[in-house]
A and B are shown apart, each in its own frame.
Chain A
């Protein structure tokens, strides 16, 4: 029998670590995905994910079920992502090692075909990722919560601490910027638009 989040939380508060491990198993992928999409770095997203569950475990006695457990987890993760972004503003996000020519490096990595395969497989995803990185943090987070985590406008508003109308505006503006970027990169084909 599958226990609900609330039941697992109650058992965890009672000292059953295995129940909390089941909650981790259930939610670590969504939390990791959220962290990765917000901050864009795999290792850091993993750290955020781990820290989210650590904080949740420590704060579990104070969790009174006023919100869904998942919403509570998302909120912790988003706060950690915000902290991370704040820290990163003081340091460059991507650093190119000095004295290394990417072309030479690519040539050393094997035949051209495999590189093309690799790039074509990831191209679309990379363009979307690149476009998302252009958005301000609030718009990006709103779109991520809506598109990839299926939250309602109201849940996003609660999560972001803003009015519901602001969430809609963020979504609209964010989608508009994304559309322009994708059009510029040739990803928005007329067929794709007509299908809608």
Chain B
């Protein structure tokens, strides 16, 4: 099918210019342009305009946005807080500035000191209790970890001695009942001690985790704040430079 082109059909000229017309239309326009000086000039000048448009490039910008997510979550989760904050990419991979290195070192040192202090407190809390309350209550006052096999053997030996004395005094019938009671008491004491130890351990672990988390949060906040200040400073500088460039270009254009 042959197609005709009407001189002055701007839509068709634009299709031809951008090479977005079917082959028949293209042929028809080409044939017309070959004989029509006005349309040929129009096509040439619009093509030249397009060429000049190619010289316009946007200024370089610091992009590198990233979705920052500290925990893997589904995108369908709502609401979102900091997980969808876009930040300049890989800031954490850049060489760490001196102040950040110092902050990290201080955080590690503080964590170490905290752990050391906690351990020291544990040791000193157990020792006076055993010293002050005498040998009869040592087992219940001290954590299980402080009870050595030797202590248990000594206790067993003492209990056996007491039992044999009781046997000698009260006869076989009462001795058997006394053995059972004593063993029951010892078992209860050991169980109580173990439970206390577990509670204490859980409590201290939670304290350490909480302290560490608080320290980490504090460090992160300080780092974020410092980075925000740096970003702000850079932004102001860029704005000033751009403003300066505008002035220079205006001045230059005035001179022409």
* Chain A residues within 8 Å of B, Cβ to Cβ: 12-17, 20-21, 24-25, 28-29, 32-33, 36-37, 42-43, 45-46, 49-50, 53-54, 57-58, 60-61, 94, 102-103, 105-106, 109, 115-116, 118-119, 122-126, 128-129, 132, 143, 146-148, 152-153, 165, 168-169, 171-172, 175-176, 178-179, 182, 187-188, 192-196
- Pairs A-B, 10 closest by C-beta atoms: A196-B47, A36-B58, A196-B44, A119-B252, A128-B56, A168-B11, A15-B74, A102-B247, A17-B69, A172-B10
- B12-48 Cβ-contact flags toward A at 8 Å (1 or 0): 0111001010000000000000000000010111111
Of all chain B residues, the one with the shortest Cβ separation from A40 is B58
Of all chain B residues, the one with the shortest Cβ separation from A31 is B63
* B238 interface contact, C-beta 8 A: yes
Docked-complex contact A192 and B51, CB < 8 angstroms? yes
> Measured between C-beta atoms, what is the minimum distance from A177 to chain B in Å?
10
By DSSP majority rule, is chain A's interface helix, strand, loop, or mixed?
helix
CA distance A176 to B244 in the complex (A): 32
> Measured between C-beta atoms, what is the minimum distance from A121 to chain B in Å?
11
Docked-complex contact B251 and A192, CB < 8 angstroms? no
6 contacts between A and B (CB under 8 A): A12-B75, A24-B67, A43-B238, A119-B248, A125-B55, A176-B46
CA distance A12 to B44 in the complex (A): 47
* Chain B residues within 8 Å of A, Cβ to Cβ: 10-11, 13-15, 18, 20, 41, 43-59, 61-69, 72-76, 80, 83-84, 86, 89, 235, 238-239, 242, 244-252
Quick one: given A168-B11, A169-B11, A196-B44, are A147 and B53 in contact (CB under 8 Å)?
A: yes
Of the candidates B49, B58, B244, B250, the one whose C-beta lies within 8 Å of that of A175 is: B49
**Residues of chain A lying within 8 A (CB to CB) of residue B238:** 42-43
CA distance A122 to B74 in the complex (A): 46
CA distance A187 to B55 in the complex (A): 12
**Residues of chain B lying within 8 A (CB to CB) of residue A132:** 56
